[in-house]
Structure 1
Amino acid sequence: MKDQKKFRCRFPLIRSGPFITLWTGQSLAMITSEIVQFSLIWWLTDSYRSATVVSWATLSALLPRAVLNPVIGVLVDRWNRRSILVISHIAIILAMAFLGYIFQTDNDPVVTIFIIIFICAISKSFQSPAMLSSTSLMVPAEHIPRVAGLNQLIQGIMRIVSPSLGAILLLKFPMSGIVMVDIAGASLGLISLLFVMIPKPEKTSGQKSCFSGRNLVFQDIMEGIRYIRNWPGAVEMLGISTTVNFLSCPAFMLVSLLITGHFGGDEKMFGTISAAIGMGMICGGILLSLWSGFRRPMITSLMGVIGMACALLITGIIPSYADEVATISMFTGGFMIPVSMAPIQALVQKSVEPELQGRVLSLMDWISSIISPVSLAIAGPVYDELGSQIWYIGSGVLALLIGSAAFFSQKIRDFGDPRYLASESKTPDRCKRTIA
């Protein structure tokens, strides 16, 4: 009996039937979509052998998120979130079905592929904030950090599963058949929505006074910006998160250059280290799904930043023959990704009013989506001129200094502390102060 009670305490989300149904369906749709996207990019690489074609395909996938996210966040807050998820899945199903037809009938479908990738990217840009902002409406606040850990777990699974399954599918089936995997995944996501009702956030009277009858998209975006700006500690937190993302993004995305340039490794070592990063993300996600972190979320997040910084620094300073150490350090870096990111995501979901979560989450994701390409563009020449190790050493040292210095700021340490949040004003009051 005691063991049963302990089990319930440790896995309380199992009892949240509707949310588990929704989360499972959306997660499967994400995984299948990532598998097909990997297959599609590799097919373009192998078929056209053109950096321009691959660059345009990547740009088609990134552009909607980088440009439209602030507007999408506003629309998610305005519209029914269940309807958004339903429409986005239907759009992906129709787009992929058309792409399958094009692969069977068109000998040069590259332009159509760019358009389909763009349409699917728009749909996914709606799905993410709609799902994240629905979590706080369906899950008790004390369990939201565990959900954030599960979301990071899925990211780790996608990092491992997508390349391997995508490669297997390319060996066994034509692209016209592979797109059916995405159709099946989107269908599962759609079916899960048939059994779930997502509660609608209530519009507070304070919120109405913020708009003052000028209910325009631009003003809603500005409302999200004002919310972040007037939330004590939020600007500092966002600055740390953006800077660390700028430093770490090339280290994890351009790891192939480190392997070939410094370690003299081959595709086997690349696969091993990529799998180590993914396994680290999975283990970190599992940890946070069982343990929601310290009472003050920023303490957990900053420990993740410092741990990641140490892992990158070690990777940069080890000699070329220490490939086993590199595997362990990159596993540690992958482990620290969810430890540093999940508490912040959960904090926003717990603290921000549901009717504002779409735009706040989208604005934060928008900043991240802009900074990543910038860091990659800068890291490329650095890698070419100074070697890949320099970026790992520099990013490790800077992230270590940032994470350590943040511990000395009470404003940052207390950001998200339940006691601290309880004493803060709510959003409508902030809006009134700003507009007045």
Structure 2
Amino acid sequence: MKERVPPVLSDRPFLLLWLAQIISQTAQNAILYTLIIIVLGLTESTTSASVVVLSFVVPTAVFGLFAGILVDRWSKRRLLILTNAGRAVTAVAFFFAREHVGALYGVTVFFATFSQLFTTSNAASIPYMVSPKQLISANTLFSGGFTIAQIAGLIILGPAILTTAGPGVLFASAAGAFVVASLLARFLPYIGHAEGEEAHGTFPGRDELRGAVSEFAAALRSLRADPLSTMAMAHITMSSTLMLLFAILVPRYMQAILQVDADKAVTVFAPVAVGALIGLRAVPFVVGRLGKTRTVALGLFGLALCLLALGFVETIADVLERTERLNPFAEQGTDRVFGLSILVALTMAFAGPLGFAYAMLNTPAQTTLHERTPVEMRGRVIASQMVLANGVALIPLVVVGGIADLYGVSSVVLAIGLLLALGGALSLYVERRWLQQEGNQPPPSGGESAQRSRQQEAVPGSIDTT
């Protein structure tokens, strides 16, 4: 009889960690939305708004070199408490600096640093909270938490509070949310090795912090030694980069292709969020049937098809308009459905599957890293993952907009689709080579050896009051 795996949310420590993640990340996303709107209003310059994004991304790439050492050497629980408290302080600073652009940039650097350290600590804590058999479900909820926070912060609460109450109320509310998240982290159990004592955890010294670059290199060497871990890192980097690419290209796509105001993007691309939530729900089922690498490859191929469809959306709309029998949008000779043009309706139709496919990327890859990373290096590997993701993401922030201006946004979307299809094929090739080298044995999924290891690491049910 197959052993029943209990739901991960029935585990109180994981539930506290997950709630702290959703609450704090929702506040973070609402603040980022508000900062962009405030800076745009003060400067009337899209370049200045881009500086806000860079002020957030660059520190996460730089400080990530040190974050991994802090997470591995010091108390994860304390870091979760202090980083949320730090973000509460920066939210208050935003409140007083909201009319000064330079001050907003400066506070954003500190805000980004606390946020990067929180995300690393949060991700590194997950394997200590659940059993190996629950890891894929835990990472699904972890990814789903980020999606929920993005929807709530960027689409619902951020715009709603900013419009009705103003930036001051939003920053004050965000500070309160970070305080709540810090209190939730306070009730977490000790996170770490059974033989360790959190009270005796030592803060990394100067020599250790100076060696951050060599530690970063050691984490990368550890990943390169394992092809599946290297591929998982590439998948996560690809996922993060795609998110920024979408943020840059969607406004241009709205204006150049759909001929709709960019502020309508929330409505047009809302199906992406719905598809992503459905996809996250389906991830454990798909991984159970296909395996983690093939699930990611499926997601990459699905993204490629959706992006190719979006790149050719004008051609598809022309064909539908000229072929009455194939035009499901025509109504009494018009070219609109529910008041939407064919271009907008097609884009919304493709957006749902796009979100579903995107959901297939991060969770399986993150689970692979958790399963195959040495326990003592988890923090550094996760921090390295974020450094690479944010470092790579800087390139599209700088050049993709110019390329879209030169060659058109459709050409850029098509090129990204082709690159994703190539990435899916390469993923299957790497897995096949790995299976051949291992005698066609499937990649380990955190089996009994991993389970025994984690049972030795965890201290169940103990509440740390240090």
Q: What is the TM-score normalised by the length of structure 2?
A: 0.79
- In 1: Cα distance, 2:353 partner to 2:367 partner: 22
- Tell me whether 234-243 or 32-41 shows the greater mean CA deviation: 234-243
* 1:122 pairs with 2:113: yes
| Residue 337 (structure 1) aligned to one of 347, 355, 358 | 358
Quick one: which of 349, 354, 369 aligns to 2:370?
Answer: 349
Q: 1: CA distance between counterparts of 2:240 and 2:118? A: 22
Q: Which amino acid aligns with 1:325?
A: L
What is the distance in 1 between the residues matched to 2:446 and 2:52?
45
Quote how far apart the aligned CAs of 1:292 are: 5.0
Secondary structure, aligned partner of 1:408: helix
2:196 is aligned with 1:170: no
Query: Does the 8 Å contact 2:252/2:262 carry over to 1?
Result: no
Match of 1:179 in 2: 171
Q: Among 84, 102, 107, which residue is 1:89 paired with?
A: 84
What is the aligned counterpart of 1:368 among 389, 401, 405?
389
Question: Structure 2 matches for 1:320-331, cutoff 5 A?
Answer: 321-331=342-352
Structure 1 residue 132: Cα displacement: 0.7
CA distance 1:422–1:392, shift in 2 (3 Å)? farther
Q: 1:54 to 1:423 in 2, by over 3 A?
A: same
* 8 A contact 2:56–2:112 mirrored in 1: yes
Retained in 2: the 8 A contact 1:298–1:412? Answer: no
Q: Is the 8 A contact 1:149 1:342 kept in 2?
A: yes
Per the alignment, residue 230 of structure 1 pairs with 225
Verify: 1:38 aligned to 2:33, yes or no: yes
Q: What amino acid is the match of 1:89?
A: N
Rounded Cα–Cα distance in structure 1 between residues aligned with 2:406 and 2:270: 28
- Tell me, in whole angstroms, the C-alpha distance in 1 between the residues paired with 2:11 and 2:30: 28
C-alpha deviations, 1:398-417, integer Å up to 9, x for none?
32133124323413678981
Give the alignment partner of residue 254 of structure 2, picking from 256, 259, 268: 259
Shift of 1:269: 4.7
Shift in Å, 1:100: 2.4
- Contact 2:293/2:427 (<8 A) preserved: no
1:144 aligns with 2:170: no
- Are the structure 2 counterparts of residues 129 and 153 from structure 1 closer, same or farther at C-alpha, using a change threshold of 3 Å? same
**Is the alpha carbon distance of 1:302 and 1:252 closer, same or farther for their aligned partners in structure 2, counting shifts above 3 Å?**
farther
1:391 to 392, 412, 430: 412
Counterpart residue number, 2:102: 111
* Aligned residues of 2:272 and 2:355 also touching (Cα < 8 A): yes
Question: Amino acid of the residue matched to residue 272 of structure 1?
Answer: T
Q: Kindly state the Cα deviation for residue 315 of structure 1 after the two structures are TM-superposed.
A: 0.9
> Which stretches in structure 2 are left out of the alignment for 5+ residues?
197-206, 318-341, 451-466
Whole-angstrom CA distance in 2 between matches of 1:9 and 1:325: 43
Match of 2:459 in 1: none
1:331–1:374 distance in 2 versus 1, CA, 3 Å: same
Counterpart of 1:161?
152
Report the CA distance shift for 1:415/1:199 in structure 2 as closer, same or farther (over 3 A): farther
Contact 1:146 1:291 (C-alpha < 8 Å) held by counterparts: no
Q: Number of residue pairs matched?
A: 406
**For residues 302 and 31 of structure 1, do their structure 2 counterparts lie closer, same or farther at Cα, with a shift above 3 Å needed?**
same
Q: Does 1:58 align with 2:63?
A: no
Of 2, 9, 15 in structure 2, the residue corresponding to residue 20 of structure 1 is: 15
Is the CA contact (8 Å cut-off) linking 2:22 and 2:145 kept in structure 1?
A: yes
Partner of 2:325: none
- Tell whether 2:444 aligns with 1:418: yes
Task: Check whether the contact 2:22–2:149 (CA below 8 A) recurs between aligned residues.
Answer: no
Partner secondary structure for residue 407 of structure 1 = helix
Residue type of the partner of 2:408?
A: G
- Residue 124 of structure 2: which of 126, 133, 150 is its match? 133
Correspondence for 1:190: 182
**Is 2:71–2:379's contact at 8 Å kept on the other side of the alignment?**
yes
Distance in 1 between the 2:231 and 2:365 partners? 12
Q: How much is the aligned-residue C-alpha RMSD, in angstroms? A: 3.0
Distance between the aligned counterparts of 1:164 and 1:174, measured in 2? 14
- State which drifts further: 122-131 or 324-333: 324-333
CA–CA distance in 1 between the matches of 2:445 and 2:366?
A: 19
Q: Deviations over 1:224-255 (max 9, x none)?
A: 12211212333344446546765675245411
TM-score by length of 1: 0.84
> Which has the larger displacement, 243-252 or 306-315?
243-252
The letter for the 1-side match of 2:44 is: R
- Percent identity over the alignment is 18
1:239 and 1:149 map into 2 onto residues whose CA distance is 18
Q: Counterparts of 1:192 and 1:113 in 2: how far apart (Å)?
A: 28
Corresponding residue to 1:200 among 184, 192, 196:
192
Task: Tell whether the 8 Å contact from 2:91 to 2:171 is kept in structure 1 after alignment.
Answer: yes
Matched residue, 1:209: none
Residues 393/291 of structure 1: CA separation in 2 closer, same or farther (3 Å cut): closer
Compared CA separation, residues 203 and 259, structure 1 to 2 (3 A): farther
Q: Aligned with 2:355: secondary structure?
A: helix
Q: 1:20 to 1:237 in 2, by over 3 A?
A: closer
1:379 is aligned to: 400
> In structure 2, do the counterparts of structure 1 residues 416 and 342 end up closer, same or farther at CA, with 3 Å as the change threshold?
farther
1:244–1:305 CA contact under 8 A, matched in 2: no
Task: Assess if the C-alpha contact under 8 Å between 1:160 and 1:274 holds in 2.
Answer: no
1:159 partner letter:
Q
Partner of residue 71, structure 1: 66
For the structure 1 residues 11 and 46, does the alpha-carbon distance in structure 2 shift closer, same or farther, using more than 3 Å as the test?
A: farther
Give the conservation status (yes or no) of the 8 Å contact 2:403–2:412: yes
Alpha-carbon contact 2:124-2:378 (below 8 Å) kept: yes
Deviations 1:131-166 (A, max 9, x none): 111110111111111122112222322333223321
CA distance in 1, matches of 2:193, 2:213: 21
